[in-house]
Structure 1
């Protein structure tokens, strides 16, 4: 499945990280176009005549908006409103939808949805035969046009050319996720390599952190309301659609203002990367929350996303013995309807 990564000079570490011998990869992303395989993410396909109705009843996304151009966020929840998987959705063809999520959650999401799939005559297929490549940087749009012959999509938009699909993600620089058959990955990579520098996948993950975007993994499954990972601020929850699993709890938390924890962005004074789940402590060593993701920035300091209490903390804050400084999120913590987001482009 990932054999092509070694052939392009990459090393797979810890099962979900790709490393290249590129000097200062985080800085490279600021200087020019870069690319990396994104093996920490995975794909689940939903296909069948009832696919739209099926997903409409299971996810927070408004499926009528997933039209082949708009590729919004969504999430699948338990009846208690806890997130089983947060996803990006796009339409490949009529009655064929693609779900992007953390690779550790593809199998469990398929198993969860399989309980309802027969009633809608849909098939659920984990796509181990697809490769995901992140293409990003200020010059990435020009590269996409010149070398891939596609018009660069904006955030949460999609374009395609034959078997290649390109979806836009937010971030400090232009970011595009390429989805293509694994059989085509090596040739596409070689074509891009004429103008694009390979970098570690940690650089893409750092830009997720800087975008205030987290992809929950298996250890974080069934732990948070969607609002606790700022999903409604990213346009990942439609409050205008009908019922879906967990909808009542999610809506109640929103309209009654019952969300007491939020995803926050921070920087640590040190180079030690905390493990996911590491406690965020206040001055009295009281736990305020936990780290969800962490990467080193271009200056060698750790940046994190953590779910934390919204109450005013007693400073200084720390994680794993390192002082924590809160950073501003790139979006306001307020509801952004996907219906509004779809109209902006």
Structure 2
């Protein structure tokens, strides 16, 4: 589809987060177990803040990207990408001592995303007073509904956590007042916003720093003050004694044919310098935006090629993304 994406209309859009599933952890000492598995500090989680983190292999490669919520009555809740469900289950089965913690995956809660400049106003009208949208991972609760500041759609906004039995009520109300984003539009927005996704940017082919450093998101996902966790040695070695050779960057191409994931990125002289992780028509139409892992030494503005198409290397999020959002609201 070459047409522009739907505009933000009344300044807010929404989507069902069908890409996330719930993992519950309980037992004698689940906090200790999670502290030894996650890249971020479990002690930072409290009733007004969630924590984003990675689960890593011993070689420092991503198993899953997760968000840890404050515990309720001793039960810890984590939302994780649906496609990571099996890999994470296998990892937990290998590393979680049953005497300390047990875990299960369930679907008794839902996640909805509400984003755009008027997202907070809409949530207040629905009975929830959200935290400031710029305070990513900050939480506010109203009864059995919790909202967390999130950029998951590539837009400033919120994820709404609520019981499955209440989800239909919220969906019906949202449909009455604003537009629902389909999966294709979400993909276009996420690429423009430089939001990594499990199975595309988060794979065992990369190191965390390759994805996080270019968007200055390392501190949000990794704590360098906490104790040991699986994969920590590799993370610390990269941070303090060396550097990575690749970075996640954006490519803006004058074509309407989006390259497939894995397509090679070349210099104008033909040297392979990276690969495409995802690509789609830009939200404003008429050209392709792609996320790619490319050689770190390449600077924004560098002219590259994806197949026969010329592309320009850009920082993330794409600079044109903020401009389009303002005009589309």
For this structure pair, what is the TM-score category when the shorter chain's length is used for normalisation? 0.7 to 0.9
Aligned counterparts of 2:277 and 2:74: Cα–Cα separation in 1: 34
Equivalent of 1:158 in 115, 118, 139: 139
Q: Distance in 1 between matches of 2:209 and 2:85?
A: 22
Aligned to 1:115: 94
Does the aligned pair in 2 maintain the 1:132–1:180 contact within 8 Å? yes
Aligned counterpart, 1:178: 160
TM norm structure 2: 0.83
1:271 aligns with 2:256: yes
Q: 1:302 aligns with which of 266, 288, 291?
A: 288
Runs of 4+ in structure 1 off by over 6 angstroms are none
1:53 pairs with one of 27, 32, 46: 32
SS at match of 2:159: strand
Q: CA deviation at 1:240?
A: 1.0
Superposed, 1:86-235 pairs within 5 Å as: 86-93=65-72, 95-154=74-133, 155-170=136-151, 173-217=155-199, 221-230=203-212, 233-234=216-217, 235=220
Deviations 1:32-85 (A, max 9, x none): 211112222333222233111101011101110011222222111111111111
Structure 1 CA distance for aligned equivalents of residues 266 and 99 of structure 2: 47
What is the CA-CA distance between 1:119 and the residue it aligns to? 4.2
> In the TM superposition, what whole-angstrom CA distance separates every residue of 1:277-317 from its partner, at most 9, and x where no partner exists?
22222223332222223333322232222221112379531
TM-superposed CA distance for 1:120, in Å, is: 4.9
Contact 2:154–2:194 (Cα < 8 Å) also in 1: no
Contact 1:30 1:137 in 2 (8 A): no
Aligned partner of residue 34 in structure 2, secondary structure? helix
Check if 1:75 corresponds to 2:54. Answer: yes
How many residue pairs align between the two structures?
A: 308
- Could you tell me which runs of 5 or more consecutive residues in structure 1 were left unpaired when the two chains were aligned: 1-23, 332-345
- Unpaired segments ≥5 residues, structure 2: 319-329
Structure 1 residues 118 and 315: CA distance shift in structure 2, 3 A: closer
CA contact (8 A) 1:79 1:246 kept: yes
Shift of 1:25: 7.6
Kept after mapping to 2: 8 A contact 1:37/1:201: no
What's the Cα RMSD here? 2.7
Structure 1 residue aligned with 2:246: 261
